[in-house]
Structure 1
Amino acid sequence: MRTIFSILYIPISATLDERVSIGLIMSDGKHHFFKYSHSKLQAIKGLLSNESYLILKTYLKSLEKDIKSTGENTDCLFSIDIASKAKWVNHSYISYLSKYSNNLIQFSEPKFIDVALSNDTYRRVFEKYIFEYDEHVHLEDDASSVYQNIKAKLYPKITGKVNIDRILTSDDFANLFAPVEVNFIGVNGVPVAGQVFDFEKRHYNLENDISRFISLTKAIELSGQKEGKYFVLGREPQTKPTDKNHIMWAQIRDAKFLDFVDIDEVGIVEEYIEKNQVTPFFEEPTE
């Protein structure tokens, strides 16, 4: 079988026709492979609006879910048999996408390559056209030490009891007007959600991230689910008390509708979820 490949691009400037290669689809008609570069996505994050970035990441993750691993592949490499739901991965449809998908993601016209499709083949093509091949999945693109701390200490304790690393939209809550990313969300009669914040980051970005999380709590409340439990996880910034970020941290710490938890005390969250028998807010798709 002949192998086709298509490169996914993110347009940066329509005026200058600038774009960045971000992902690669390959198919031999029986198996499909897909991966995108988390490192490159993070590198251009500052060139995109927060809303565009979250929509873009949601789209790329949806491709990962649609082209899931069914064999022994390396991390972040996804393949699936043609009999599954990913039947859209074919020359004619990708060619159609290359002509009409020109928003946040662009597909290149699919090309044939005279090689057998395998993990090794895919990796070589990926590194030629996209970026250095990353063996690991970074669930949080900024890979901050704060997030990695939570991921290592808390996630193994709460996985299966809550939804992990979920991007929420108006499809989930009608009054949510922009996508919001949460690190975990569950329910125990009342909604339970938590988000990690790096209080050392640029103030504008921190303020925007916190505003989005607060907008989520209000959207959940407007949906009829009041008195939720909302955790903010982070660390006190090493700045003067008069610094904007430190003031914001203090306001979060003292807020009555939020529960601030230092990343060295995440056992508080684990204990709450365990004691209150919290379950995932959303039903997870079965494999």
Structure 2
Amino acid sequence: MKTIYSILYVTLNAALNERVSVGILMSNSFEHYFKFSSEKLGALKGILNSERYNLVKNYLKSIEKEICLNSNQLFSERELKNNWINEGYIIYLSKYSNNIVQFSAPKPIDVDLNIDTFKRIFEKYIFRYTEEVNETIGLNIYSKVKQDLFPKIEDRVNLEMILTSNNFENLFAPIEIDFIGINEIPVAGQTIDFEKKHYYLENDIARFVSLTKAIELEGNSKGKYYVLGREPQKHTDKNHQLWEHIRDSDFLEFVDIDEVGIVEEYLEEHNVRPFFD
């Protein structure tokens, strides 16, 4: 089978065609591998404004989440539900997409697609390849929620939306939310990886809390907000303390990802409907 690859670039200045490669997608129509460099993306934080930086990060992570569903294939997924990864569509993206993240035209390469060849291509065109163990754990959490909960609530909420100040006036930075709905009060939920580095964990929690505040300021009403995840290992003291604060919070409701039926039951009992048409 023919192997192709496409490089993902972040556009810095469209007029001058200034761009930086941050990730790569490889496919042979049967297997798909994707990875972006967190280190290289982080270096752009001082160049891009916060809104553009968060849009780029959320977009790359949304691709990563969609592809990285199988824990035994770190960056591979054999059967995507929405199989947009094909040569024709990537050509379309490379020609017509005006997003800040750009795909290069797919190029054929005469190699068998596996993790070793993927690593070599990644290091040739992007950056050094690093195993991001904590991110992998997180992706397993996200994929479990996506598999176990999303199909059961998709008619009652908006799923996987990127919300901005266009949606809520007091939301100062874009955020990708797992689900949001409304009955007599707003209802929202976010999957959080409590095993990731503490700085990033704090940032994820802070951004979700800022979203809840923006929602409530919009409608002057308290809402119900779920944090989905797993209890972190106790040797990560700061992370475990933060998890305990959330678990004991009256403002946020923690739900273990093995008990997501709690969310499903609440949405059904309260006849929750999508927040946005």
TM bracket (short chain): 0.5 to 0.7
Answer yes or no: is 1:76 the counterpart of 2:85: yes
Q: CA deviation at 1:259?
A: 0.7
Alpha-carbon contact 2:189-2:226 (below 8 Å) kept: yes
Q: CA deviation at 1:148?
A: 1.7
> How many pairs does the alignment contain?
220
Q: Distance in 1 between matches of 2:263 and 2:56?
A: 30
Could you say if the C-alpha distance between residues 44 and 276 of structure 1 is closer, same or farther in structure 2, counting changes exceeding 3 Å? farther
Could you say if the C-alpha distance between residues 23 and 146 of structure 1 is closer, same or farther in structure 2, counting changes exceeding 3 Å? closer
Alpha-carbon contact 2:36-2:60 (below 8 Å) kept: no
* Deviations, residues 89-121 of structure 1 (Å, cap 9, x unaligned): 96xx88xx7xxx9xx54687x9xxxxxxxxxxx
Could you say if the C-alpha distance between residues 164 and 234 of structure 1 is closer, same or farther in structure 2, counting changes exceeding 3 Å? same
Partner of 1:9: 9
Q: Distance in 2 between matches of 1:155 and 1:123?
A: 35
Alpha-carbon contact 1:22-1:41 (below 8 Å) kept: yes
What amino acid sits opposite 2:36 in the alignment?
Answer: K
Q: Distance in 2 between matches of 1:89 and 1:237?
A: 40
Q: Distance in 2 between matches of 1:218 and 1:171?
A: 15
Q: Which runs of 5+ in 1 are unaligned?
A: 1-5, 25-35, 63-72, 81-85, 111-121, 132-140
TM-score by length of 2: 0.63
Q: Distance in 2 between matches of 1:244 and 1:159?
A: 34
Report matched runs for 1:87-166 at 5 Å: 104-105=100-101, 124=108, 144-166=139-161
More helix by share: 2
TM-score by length of 1: 0.61
Could you say if the C-alpha distance between residues 105 and 267 of structure 1 is closer, same or farther in structure 2, counting changes exceeding 3 Å? closer
Partner of 1:220: 215
Could you say if the C-alpha distance between residues 51 and 209 of structure 1 is closer, same or farther in structure 2, counting changes exceeding 3 Å? farther
Report matched runs for 1:2-81 at 5 Å: 9-10=9-10, 19-20=20-21, 22=23, 38-40=34-36, 44-49=40-45, 51-56=51-56, 74-77=83-86
Structural RMSD (CA): 4.2
Which has more radius of gyration? 1
Partner of 1:65: none
Q: Distance in 2 between matches of 1:202 and 1:61?
A: 16
Could you say if the C-alpha distance between residues 166 and 41 of structure 1 is closer, same or farther in structure 2, counting changes exceeding 3 Å? farther
Q: Which runs of 5+ in 2 are unaligned?
A: 1-5, 13-17, 26-31, 63-81, 123-134
Q: Distance in 1 between matches of 2:259 and 2:165?
A: 32
Alpha-carbon contact 1:10-1:22 (below 8 Å) kept: no
Q: CA deviation at 1:78?
A: 8.8
Q: Distance in 1 between matches of 2:33 and 2:218?
A: 36
What amino acid sits opposite 1:205 in the alignment?
Answer: Y
